[in-house]
Amino acid sequence: MSRVDAIPAPVLVLGGVLSVQFGGALAATLVPQIGAAGSVILRLGIATLVLLAIARPRWRGHSRRDLGTIVCFGIAMGLMNFAFYASLGHLPIGVAVTIEFVGPLTLAAVLSRRPRDLLAVATAAIGVVLISRALSLPVDQLETTGILLALAAGACWAAYIVFSGRTGAAFPQLEGLALAMVVATLVVLPFGLWDVARHGTAAWDGEVLLKGVGIAVLSSVLPYSLELFALRRLAPAVFGILLSLEPAVAALAGLIVLGQRLSGVQLFGMALVVVASVLVLGLGARKPQAEPPV
């Protein structure tokens, strides 16, 4: 057993949540400079190089089924990142996160086998809506394009959860993730090149590249690695609800990094999300073999 395997799977997920949200707060300062697609390709490109150097994956000797899993995982990962960043050009970030979260919540509900799981899903969903302040936004301000992009990001997020688990089961350590990151980068590359041409190469200075390294590590390398290890031992249904902590952690990162403060309603929503996560942590801890990973 490796040192990572000795860490409880829920702890790995929570570590990934913390990492990706603080990386997202850092990315919020970068997107205005080089655009959404440019930020995504910088993040994925650097993260891919780091993972290839660490994992040194084998390019041959894999079955067609395993290669198909890698391709699906990479496509889901690349489109998930790009669709969400693109939705931010049409929707407030809180609304976009709420709509995107429909993906993993729906996955958790579909895979759930106990009434308590459904209660946790419902509680998490209410908490996410309150944290995002989606209820206070007039309906006429919601743009169809943004909604469709956020829903697409959510669907890709659900697919990411499924194929991350399968990749972790089929490939040792981080080998599968490294190969999938190559696919994800290639998927987003055309959009990234277009953004570079639109904003100009002068915007890509040393500060931008340094931020890109930080975002790549915080938003890709660490969370994707931790989630992959966790999904080897954690049911996707439990994983999906644990991700409900993301809006709460995003609010904390926004407060620390961007100076954004929470309202009373948002704090109540955060409490609901924490309650849902505790319910799932309890379920996973008491009967770890009742719901084997898919």
Q: What is the pLDDT of residue 292?
A: 33
Query: 69-103, pLDDT tens digit by residue?
Result: 999 999 999 999 889 888 877 777 777 777 888 88
Average pLDDT over residues 137-145: 72
Q: Is it the case that residue 141 has pLDDT exceeding 80?
A: no
Per cent of the chain over pLDDT 90 is: 8
Query: 103-129, pLDDT tens digit by residue?
Result: 887 887 777 767 777 787 788 888 888
Rounded CA-CA distance 150/84 in Å is 6
Q: What is the pLDDT of residue 86?
A: 81
Q: What is the pLDDT of residue 237?
A: 67
**Of residues 110, 88, 108, the one with CA closest to residue 97:** 88
Q: Is it the case that residue 156 has pLDDT exceeding 90?
A: yes
Q: Is it the case that residue 235 has pLDDT exceeding 80?
A: no
Rounded CA-CA distance 163/227 in Å is 11
Among 39-48, 139-148, 170-179, 285-294, the range scoring the smallest mean pLDDT is 285-294
Q: Is it the case that residue 136 has pLDDT exceeding 80?
A: no
Q: Is it the case that residue 3 has pLDDT exceeding 50?
A: yes
Among 136-150, 255-269, 280-294, the range scoring the smallest mean pLDDT is 280-294
Mean pLDDT of the chain: 80
Q: What HEC string does the chain produce?
A: CCCCCCCCHHHHHHHHHHHHHHHHHHHCCCHHHHCHHHHHHHHHHHHHHHHHHHHCCCCCCCCHHHHHHHHHHHHHHHHHHHHHHHHCCCCCHHHHHHHHCHHHHHHHHHHCCCHHHHHHHHHHHHHHHHHHCHHHCCHHHCCHHHHHHHHHHHHHHHHHHHHHHHHHHHCCCCHHHHHHHHHHHHHHHHHHHHHHHHHCHHHCCHHHHHHHHHHHHHHHHHHHHHHHHHHCCCCHHHHHHHCCHHHHHHHHHHHHHHCCCCCHHHHHHHHHHHHHHHHHHHHHHHCCCCCCCC
Rounded CA-CA distance 110/209 in Å is 41
**Of residues 63, 138, 144, 123, the one with CA closest to residue 248:** 123
CA distances from 39 to 33, 189, 289 (A): 9, 11, 40
Rounded CA-CA distance 290/288 in Å is 6
Q: What is the pLDDT of residue 285?
A: 44
Rounded CA-CA distance 64/36 in Å is 33
Q: Is it the case that residue 282 has pLDDT exceeding 70?
A: no
Residue labelled with tokens 């929707």: 91
Q: Is the C-alpha dihedral spanning 41, 47, 52, 58 positive or negative? A: negative
Average pLDDT over residues 202-216: 83
Query: Hey, what long-range contacts does 3-11 have (CB within 8 A, 24 or more apart)?
Result: 4/229, 5/229, 5/233, 8/285, 9/229, 9/230, 9/231, 9/232, 9/233, 9/234, 9/284, 10/230, 10/234, 10/238, 10/242, 10/281, 10/284, 10/285
Q: What is the pLDDT of residue 287?
A: 44
